[in-house]
Amino acid sequence: MAQRIVDVLVPVALDQAYSYRVPAGMELAPGDIVSVPLGARTATGVVWADGVTVRPGLHNRLKDVEDKLDIPPLKPELRKFVDWVSGYTLSPRGMVLRMALRMGEHLGPAREKVGVRLVGPHPKRMTAARNRVLALLADGMVRAKSEAAHEAGVSAGVVNGLIDEGALETVVLPPEPVAVPPDPDHAVPEFTDAQRAAADTLRAGTTKGFSVSLIDGVTGSGKTEVYFEAVAETVRQGRQVLILMPEIALTAQFLGRFAERFGVPPAEWHSQLAPRKRARTWSAVATDEVQVVVGARSALFLPYRDLGLIIVDEEHDPAYKQEDGVRYHARDMAVVRAKEQNIPIVLASATPSVESEVNARRGRYTALHLPERFGGQHMPAVEAIDLRTERPPRGRFISSRLAEAVNVALERGEQALLFLNRRGFAPLTLCNTCGHRLACQNCDAWLVDHRFRRRLVCHHCGFSMPQPEKCPKCSAENSFVPVGPGVERLEQEAAELFPDKRILVLSSDLVESMDRLRQELDDVAQGRFDIVIGTQLVAKGHHFPKLNLVGIVDADLGLSNGDPRAAERTFQLLHQVVGRAGREEGRGYGYLQTHNPEHPVMRALIAQDREAFYSAEIEVREKTGYPPFGRLASLLISGGDKHATEQYARKLAAISPLDDSVRVLGPAEAPLAVVRGRFRFRLLVKAPRNYDLSAYLREWLAEAPKTKGTLKLEVDVDPQSFF
Ligand code: ADP
Ligand code: ZN
């Protein structure tokens, strides 16, 4: 007998869709979301292939589709996007699908919210509590049951009793909308000429299909206000907008900003939404109930009903790269999605990635420049403090010139920020007697002294321990000394240099909650602290009106780590941090403590010559064939046994397909040679710019020996991290 069969992709680490039988009476089309048996459990999957096929013969081994879920099907363009991302990143299709299906585990219909209303006569038995409820509801209005109980100050049982006795009736409340439609004309600013020109270009672009624009302007130049015009125009057309942010913290801050312009906040999407809110938002995006979504990178995989525009804010931010599971770069994949859907995409940054800058310079992207801060404030003046000639005293990290500048700022009643991108007290603890260094047991890394927590901590695996009393090597007592600074140590020094000043340390490991962090940032903005000592946590997004002085304690910190993007990253980070100064009054000042004031990054920051930095960096990349002038992929081989891991890496390298334009480098021990007890070897693959590296890797890995035991092979196309 003929049997109807359908191919269903399930969100597990598999590339292939599985075939299932379609029970009689069930109608299925591609994109439909179904539940299917998968091993011993039930999984939510998507009808992937061309739909139902009728195949003769016996299919006894196939299982039946259990159910067709009552949620909108995945549209062809999203399915195609899943296929594309999977093919590009070499991640199993099922794992990419999983990102598109993250609508919360509990699908099903939403729990109904029940309201109550006064209807009947008062019951015979009255109590003070019952009286309060009836008095509250005497106005005849419907209130949610839980609210009625809360407002009357009674338990839910009291309200239930009144329902049972007929004094109140229950009413099903309509679900709260996920988002109220934004009003594109709510508060349109008066634009400067440069802003208007950029906004006009973007607005015109909303009807012209695929294009990439790069808004490049210093912080405070109005990039957000400008791209809001494209958002407004798209909303007017009744289409949806996705605004991507690199971090959840920025997403939260952005809500208020959006509401000022559009009257209401947008819908939010990130990993910390409550499951029910997730499910509701997911469906609301699919049904067009939501017009604008602001979200972290996973928002790219939402099932938009009619996506009309994508914005990628802070497009250069490394946080756009997902480093586990499916390794994808959300900015790059956003461009792909925009191209697939034939819609415009806008990238915004004060310090564009070199990749985007090259595209803009070559005319592949439309470049929109906003050269000035809104309100005309100057960018901070920057000068270097050469640590070779102005060395701070031994064991100190703040030079006397920087200390003097901080004093002057504080005397004027202003704030100062001391920036050091290093958590903890000291990055290294050393025995003064024998020179032994305290290292992690599981990783090839020093333990970082965290004095607030009184622990030595490994930043790679999380291992921690109290400082030992004796040196484990020579048994000397009280012999440990901290080497190098972290923000906690800097606080100690600042407290001595600037007595009686209010000092706040901001570092991700000290953040107790997002609310607390927001409160602290607000305290800084209100002037309740004099000195802020911070890691990159303070680099972006915040506006501190009284902050005019920024001191970079170790400007060289990120430059020497062997990452091909080290210079770019350092430039971006330091530019951003220095840009915190003088936002309100425009007389900001930045000091860079460096051993290398001649480095192109330092020179560009001091001369405020962005173009010089990009030109120099682009030249280096071009010469060395690094992105965007060449392509890279990294294969990380790790395992519990060093010899077996290295052997496997060698074998893998030996069978790489011959291709004149591809170079396979390594295997070499990764810079972090051991993490969590696993030995790590890396192969780096270099290819020319337009080469199909994914296809090359696929051909290669199809021949790779199976990874056995603890061995693991991780593929990273366009890697951002080289540790
Ligand atoms: P960016 O995104 O480049 O950092 P913003 O768009 O956030 O810049 O603008 C910086 C500040 O200046 C914001 O408070 C913004 O509301 C204000 N602003 C920018 N342009 C205008 C304008 N044309 N009219 C009024 N306020 C503006
Ligand atoms: Zn460790």
DSSP calls for 219-275? TTSSHHHHHHHHHHHHHHTT-EEEEE-S-HHHHHHHHHHHHHHHSS--EEESTTS-H
DSSP string, 348-363: EESS--HHHHHHHHTT
Residue 48 backbone phi and psi in degrees, to 5: -105, -50
**Ligand 1 binding pocket mutation candidate from 224, 294, 313 (most atoms within 8 A of CB):** 224
Looking at the CA of 461, name the nearest ligand. Answer: 2
Q: How far is the CA of 671 from the centre of ligand 2 (A)?
A: 14
d(CA 622, CA 218): 26
Residue 45 backbone phi and psi in degrees, to 5: -135, 180
Residue 655 backbone phi and psi in degrees, to 5: -95, 10
Strand order in the sheet with 168-173: 143-144, 113-118, 168-173
Contact 481, 471 (CB under 8 A): no
Contact 685, 719 (CB under 8 A): no
**pTM score:** 0.89
Q: How far is the CA of 374 from the centre of ligand 1 (A)?
A: 6
Q: How far is the CA of 461 from the centre of ligand 2 (A)?
A: 4
Is the link from the previous residue into 37 a cis peptide, with omega within 30 of 0? no
Tokens matching residue 419: 């920036």
Query: Which of 571, 578, 570 minimizes the C-alpha distance to 552?
Result: 578
d(CA 216, CA 202): 13
* Geometric angle at alpha carbon 543, from 537 and 544, rounded to 5°: 95
Contact 438, 464 (CB under 8 A): no
Is the link from the previous residue into 657 a cis peptide, with omega within 30 of 0? no
SS3 638: strand
DSSP string, 144-166: EHHHHHHHHT--HHHHHHHHHTT
Q: Which atom of ligand 1 is nearest to the CA of 189?
A: 24
**Ligand 1 atom 20 nearest Cα:** 222
Q: What is the chain's length?
A: 723
Contact 388, 602 (CB under 8 A): no
**Ligand 1 atom 24 nearest Cα:** 189
Ranges of the chain whose pLDDT falls below 70? 1-2, 51, 56-60, 104-112, 541, 586
Task: Give the count of beta carbons closer than 10 Å to the beta carbon of residue 26.
Answer: 17
Q: Which atom of ligand 1 is nearest to the CA of 221?
A: 3
Query: Which of 129, 306, 276 minimizes the C-alpha distance to 206?
Result: 306
Q: How far is the CA of 648 from the centre of ligand 2 (A)?
A: 24
Contact 559, 601 (CB under 8 A): yes
669 DSSP β-pair partners: 681
Looking at the CA of 462, name the nearest ligand. Answer: 2
Q: Which atom of ligand 1 is nearest to the CA of 219?
A: 4
SS3 179: coil
Query: Which of 57, 49, 165, 68 minimizes the C-alpha distance to 107?
Result: 68
Looking at the CA of 448, name the nearest ligand. Answer: 2
Q: How far is the CA of 508 from the centre of ligand 2 (A)?
A: 18
58: CB partners within 8 A, 6+ apart: none
Looking at the CA of 377, name the nearest ligand. Answer: 1
Helical segments of 441-528, H only: 487-497, 514-525
Looking at the CA of 456, name the nearest ligand. Answer: 2
Looking at the CA of 459, name the nearest ligand. Answer: 2
Q: How far is the CA of 712 from the centre of ligand 1 (A)?
A: 48
Type of residue found at 702:
A
Give how far the C-alpha of residue 570 lies from the chain's centroid of Cα atoms, to the nearest Å.
Answer: 19
Q: How far is the CA of 440 from the centre of ligand 2 (A)?
A: 5
Tell me the CB-side half-sphere exposure of residue 192, using CA atoms within 13 A. Answer: 15
Residue 700 backbone phi and psi in degrees, to 5: -60, -50
Q: How far is the CA of 201 from the centre of ligand 1 (A)?
A: 18
Give how far the C-alpha of residue 549 lies from the chain's centroid of Cα atoms, to the nearest Å.
Answer: 28
Tokens matching residue 262: 């559009």
d(CA 317, CA 314): 6
**Ligand 1 atom 25 nearest Cα:** 189
Contact 10, 94 (CB under 8 A): yes
**Ligand 1 atom 18 nearest Cα:** 222
Contact 293, 243 (CB under 8 A): yes
Q: How far is the CA of 70 from the centre of ligand 2 (A)?
A: 46
Query: Which of 239, 233, 230, 245 minimizes the C-alpha distance to 195?
Result: 230
Beta strands in 314-445 (DSSP E): 344-349, 366-370, 381-386, 415-419, 428-431
Query: Which of 598, 543, 603 minimizes the C-alpha distance to 575?
Result: 603
Give the pLDDT of residue 13. Answer: 92
Looking at the CA of 221, name the nearest ligand. Answer: 1
Tokens matching residue 98: 């999983």
Q: How far is the CA of 225 from the centre of ligand 1 (A)?
A: 6
Q: How far is the CA of 447 from the centre of ligand 2 (A)?
A: 8
Pocket of ligand 1 (CB under 6 A): 189-192, 195, 217, 219-225, 374
Contact 106, 335 (CB under 8 A): no
Pairing relationship of beta strands 428-431 and 480-483 according to DSSP bridges: antiparallel
Give the pLDDT of residue 252. Answer: 76
Looking at the CA of 199, name the nearest ligand. Answer: 1
Give the pLDDT of residue 3. Answer: 80
Tokens matching residue 11: 């969100």
Q: How far is the CA of 183 from the centre of ligand 1 (A)?
A: 19
Q: How far is the CA of 330 from the centre of ligand 1 (A)?
A: 25
**Ligand 1 atom 5 nearest Cα:** 222
Q: How far is the CA of 438 from the centre of ligand 2 (A)?
A: 11
d(CA 152, CA 94): 50
- Dihedral of the CA atoms 295, 298, 304, 307 (nearest 10)? 60
Pairing relationship of beta strands 448-450 and 428-431 according to DSSP bridges: unpaired
Q: How far is the CA of 573 from the centre of ligand 1 (A)?
A: 21
Q: Which atom of ligand 1 is nearest to the CA of 192?
A: 23
Strand order in the sheet with 381-386: 381-386, 589-594, 547-552, 415-419, 531-534, 503-506
Contact 502, 393 (CB under 8 A): no
Q: What DSSP character marks residue 415?
A: E
Q: Which atom of ligand 1 is nearest to the CA of 215?
A: 3
Residue indicated by tokens 């080289």: 722
Element (H, E) at 21: strand 18-21
Contact 161, 274 (CB under 8 A): no
Q: Which atom of ligand 1 is nearest to the CA of 260?
A: 16
Contact 450, 488 (CB under 8 A): yes
d(CA 187, CA 534): 35
Q: Which atom of ligand 1 is nearest to the CA of 228?
A: 6
**Ligand 1 binding pocket mutation candidate from 225, 260, 540 (most atoms within 8 A of CB):** 225
| Chain segment 283-327, per-residue pLDDT in tens | 899 988 999 999 999 999 999 999 999 999 999 999 999 999 999
